Amino acid sequence: MIDIFPIDQLDLERKRVIYRVDYNVPMEGTKVSDETRIRETLPTILMMRERGASIVILSHMGRPKGKRTEADSLRPIRAKLEELMNLDIQWADDCIGDEAESKSKALGPGQILFLENLRFHPEEEKNDPTFAGKLQKHGEVYVNDAFGACHRAHASIVALPRLFSTDKRAAGLLLLMELQFLQKVTHVSDRPFVAVMGGAKIAGKIEPLEALVKLADSVVIGGGMSNTFLAAQGRELGDSLVDHDSLEVAKRILASNGPKVILPTDLVVTDSIDKPTRVETISVEKGVAAGLKAVDIGPRTVERFTAAIAGAKVVFWNGPMGVFEQEQFAVGTKKIARAVAHANAMTIVGGGESVEAVNASGFADKISHISTGGGASLEFVAGISLPGIEILQR
């Protein structure tokens, strides 16, 4: 088991806490479409306030690549947090610099300051120690609850806590809970262990998947990710999203652990995601015609996947089965959410969209653990060490 410094050991009385969270929540314009990641930090915030701390909140949002973009501003998230806590929360337009520093220094016990997106500075993703030094000025203590970002060796996750002595840095209640649940998966003795994978972002997921296939009894793959596997088998995919850079790894996974991999046998295809004029179900064997793209798994595939999930004792799900944002193409994802919720198993769901699917289908309370990490929970379950957790280990 991983032994990590817990928040209880910190002296928080009249201390300013630098609190790193992952409020990179799914958005529709400036509206938060799923607030799970925010809600899950409230117990830690309440506890720190009760213990007499003031709090400086740090987070990233989106992938603005070191530039200031209105679309990736954390302002709407601050408003959401104010609403959830029914409390005034201060704001600074930059996470470093004079304005932010003077505001953090002026905080009294129980007060909260929310700082703008860390990723507006390129140094964040470079794990830059000088940038970390500027962030350090905001507090005397460091607490990390950003489980969703712990697989990133970024400045606020690694270089910053390194600047605090071990009695002044710790994991918050959310990070501790994530570890407690996810370690149940990595220490499973209950079998079969079925992993369900999907989503469009394949590049960062295929390496952990390669590790996960070795640990799981079977891996069900749908959504954008399955296109790449089907292409690796030589299937026709038409205009579907295929990650050509990941084809080699997909081939390697199929060659070494092919029998464990369960892929779609039918797909829902369309001519256009935004303005579909043609929507049909095709068999994978026949292939996707040129001009059409796969957007959901078909009904035969839903049955196949449901059967695999129903027989499991442990289920880990990461990534939707299709273009879930579009109601019309969310059918497969919702059916998989139902299957996971009804499995007589320990079930863990991670990743913004799969969590959204589970919440939207009303099955959230039937899932053993909803993780606030997507890539992070996947890497953790695949046995990969996360830099943000390593730095907090005893």
Interface mask toward ligand 3PG for 323-352; x: CB under 6 A: -----------------------------x
Pick one of Mg ion, ligand 3PG, none as the site partner of residue 148 (Cβ within 5 to 8 A by kind). ligand 3PG
SS percent in the chain: helix, strand, coil, step 5: 40, 20, 40
Stretch that binds ligand 3PG, among 47-55, 68-76, 146-154, 305-313 (CB under 6 A): 146-154
Question: Is 375 labeled as catalytic in the residue annotation?
Answer: yes
Instruction: Specify the residue, 111 or 117, whose C-beta has the smaller distance to ligand 3PG.
Output: 117
Instruction: Specify the residue, 161 or 375, whose C-beta has the smaller distance to ligand 3PG.
Output: 375
- Could you say which of 352, 373, 374, 388 is catalytic? 352
Read off the tokens for 277: 């004029």
Contact 192, 169 (CB under 8 A): no
- H helices within the chain, ranges in order? 36-39, 42-50, 75-85, 98-105, 122-125, 129-136, 160-162, 173-186, 206-215, 223-232, 247-257, 299-310, 331-342, 352-360, 375-381, 387-390
Read off the tokens for 73: 């501003």
Q: Which among 139, 133, 138, 112 has a CA at the least distance from the CA of 44?
A: 112
- Could you say which of 68, 126, 184, 201 is catalytic? 201
Read off the tokens for 377: 């929970």
What torsion, rounded to 10 degrees, do the Cα atoms 72, 73, 74, 75 define? -140
Interface mask toward Mg ion for 327-356; x: CB under 5 A: -------------------------x----
Stretch that binds ligand 3PG, among 101-109, 144-152, 282-290, 358-366 (CB under 6 A): 144-152
Read off the tokens for 67: 């530039």
Pick one of ligand 3PG, Mg ion, none as the site partner of residue 63 (Cβ within 5 to 8 A by kind). ligand 3PG
Give residues with Cβ within 8 angstroms of 369, minimum separation 6: 181, 182, 347, 348, 349
Q: Which among 291, 237, 246, 292 has a CA at the least distance from the CA of 264?
A: 237
List 223, 320, 374, 388, residue binding ligand 3PG (CB under 6 A): 374
List 16, 17, 21, 24, residue binding ligand 3PG (CB under 6 A): 24
Pick one of ligand 3PG, Mg ion, none as the site partner of residue 152 (Cβ within 5 to 8 A by kind). ligand 3PG
22 binds ligand 3PG (CB under 6 A): yes
Pick one of Mg ion, ligand 3PG, none as the site partner of residue 375 (Cβ within 5 to 8 A by kind). ligand 3PG
Question: Is 152 labeled as catalytic in the residue annotation?
Answer: no
Interface mask toward ligand 3PG for 46-85; x: CB under 6 A: -----------------x----------------------
Least Cβ distance, residue 135 to ligand 3PG (angstroms): 18
Pick one of ligand 3PG, Mg ion, none as the site partner of residue 149 (Cβ within 5 to 8 A by kind). ligand 3PG
Rounded Cα distance, 77 and 25, in Å: 9
Least Cβ distance, residue 374 to Mg ion (angstroms): 5
Map the footprint of Mg ion across residues 351-390, applying CB under 5 A: 352
Rounded Cα distance, 133 and 252, in Å: 43
Give residues with Cβ within 8 angstroms of 40, minimum separation 6: 145, 174, 372
Least Cβ distance, residue 160 to ligand 3PG (angstroms): 16
Question: Is 201 labeled as catalytic in the residue annotation?
Answer: yes
- Counting Cβ atoms within 10 Å, is residue 372 exposed (0-12), middle (13-18) or buried (19+)? buried
Read off the tokens for 329: 């193409």
Instruction: Specify the residue, 305 or 317, whose C-beta has the smaller distance to ligand 3PG.
Output: 317
Least Cβ distance, residue 340 to ligand 3PG (angstroms): 19
Q: b vs e for 250-284, b when ≥16 Cβ sit within 10 Å of the residue's Cβ? A: beebbeebeebbbbbebbbbbbeeeeeeeeeebeb
Contact 141, 53 (CB under 8 A): yes
Q: Which residues are catalytic?
A: 37, 201, 352, 375
Given the rule CB under 5 A, which residues bind Mg ion? 352
Given the rule CB under 6 A, which residues bind ligand 3PG? 22, 24, 63, 148-149, 152, 352, 374-375
